[in-house]
Amino acid sequence: MNQAIRNAWIAIAVMFALILGAISYVQVIGADDLNKNSWNNRAILQTFCQERGPILVAGKPIAQSVESGSDTCKFQRTFPGQDLYAGITGFYSNVYGSSGLENTMNSTLTGRSDELLMDRIRQLFLGEQPQGASVELTIDPAIQKLAYDLIPDGQRGSIVVTNPKTGAIIAMVSKPSYDPNLIATQDQAAASAAMQKIQSEQGINLNQGVSGPTGALLAPGSVFKLVDTAAALASGKYNKDSVLPNPAQMTLPGTNTQLPNYAGGNCYTRDKADFAFALEQSCNTPFASIALDLGQDAIAKQAAAFGYGQDAGDQLHLDYSPGVWPQKLNQAQLAQSAIGQFDVKASPLQIALVTSAIANGGVQMKPSLVKSITAPDLHVVSEPKPEVLRTSTTPDIARQITEWMTDVVSQGIAGAAAVPGVKVAGKTGTAELGVTNSKGQMLNNSWFTGFAPADNPQVQVTVVMEGVDIYQGAALTSPTARKIFEAVLNK
């Protein structure tokens, strides 16, 4: 065999190996990821015209398959929940694939999950058309509707309502929203036109991994001070009686830049403060000082314990972006980060998890969205039970922070969240965006997060309104939380 023939054989052998390797990867290693990829609509094209299981809230469908009347495509996916539930159901399109629960619960909704194997075998022997299982959610429809209506049309915002003891999501909404029916249509030209219009609207919750309550990473502002406080108490260097420096402003280390105290409360009345006063009035300089004293590793460790940079467990069934605590900070950046600015980011659900952990004695439960899964023959396939996600802090620290959060509502700047006859724990946040409106007013992300009753938490509420001035923020966050507290506790 001469050299030319030998080289040809080597080249053929290498090409063979590459082809076998690629086939093995596609068929075995990467098959699951490829099937789940939201942009892979091959699997959707195979099942688009089949009857998928419904997604239910209180027994009523918010997504379901109905007979289309067509011989070529017998079933059409419809979304009776429309805009109200679009952020949860996602869309199901033969052009754009799927998102939300339509994507993550696809194997259940099509009946192809392992837990539905016996149902598939039964359908095969009986000659029945494949049917998927129904998925019942933990959502309370009345609270979901209330929360959605409390975000004014034209306002970007999100609200997350949970049971902190179980992790069950009671309501989760955001605006702007969209109608998934417009994308689910079999008219591909109409679906394309609808998608282009939806994508042109800023902040719409089309992809849960990057937008909406589970994915939008926003500056958290002063609600991050709950993390600072837990870190301070956990360090052993601070306790409930500690006296904190509270200057009107402080020079950020290594710079000439001044970090001012929050101007909306009564911080200016004291040059020293205890934790109770600093949280009640949301003063900035005490928490910047604490972070500089403890160092960034201590704050980072506590943030991670509350879920920053961590997953949200396996019961959410939606794409999730964990909070971000920036790395390798200089001292000026650390001081800014301690008040939830610089590059600190958090989704509304991340803040809800922090608050829920405090409400639940330091234990963070897995956020859960699925109440039960029922097979087509109506036997219950699964009923997920509450599970612990992680321990965020000690019961004593959680109890102490709860006491201070109660003061924030009863005598601090979150008084509009107060419910007569009920102890409410809360914390506000105002994260400056560095831009102003036409009146020259600074625009912010305005937050409220809290729970009630403080001594026996039944409900956690997190509200964020984006791009508002300080007056709009005050009117749209704490009062909104109060209405939701009242609605849940009065049920």
Catalytic residues: 222
DSSP string for 62-100 = EEEEEE-S-SS--EEEE-TTHHHHHHHH--EETTTEE-H
Question: Is the dihedral angle over the CA atoms 452, 457, 463, 469 positive or is it negative?
Answer: positive
Cβ neighbours around 117 below 10 Å, total: 11
CA dist 212 and 218 (Å) reads 10
State the first-to-last Cα distance of the chain, in angstroms, to the nearest integer: 87
**Are 284 and 336 a contacting pair, CB within 8 Å?**
no
**Are 224 and 344 a contacting pair, CB within 8 Å?**
yes
Residues in the chain: 491
The tokens describing 24, both together, are: 């093995």
CA dist 189 and 210 (Å) reads 26
**Residues forming beta bridges with residue 291, ordered by sequence position:** none
Q: Which residues contact 204 (CB under 8 A, 6 or more apart)?
A: 176, 177, 178, 198, 211
List, in sequence order, the alpha helices (H) in 200-238: 212-215, 225-235
**Are 265 and 279 a contacting pair, CB within 8 Å?**
no
CA dist 16 and 111 (Å) reads 37
- How would you list the strands of the sheet with 75-78, edge to edge? 75-78, 60-67, 55-57, 134-137, 370-374, 380-382
The tokens describing 335, both together, are: 């001081």
**Are 387 and 299 a contacting pair, CB within 8 Å?**
no
DSSP string for 323-365 = -B--SS--HHHHHHHTTT-TT-BB-HHHHHHHHHHHHTTTEEE
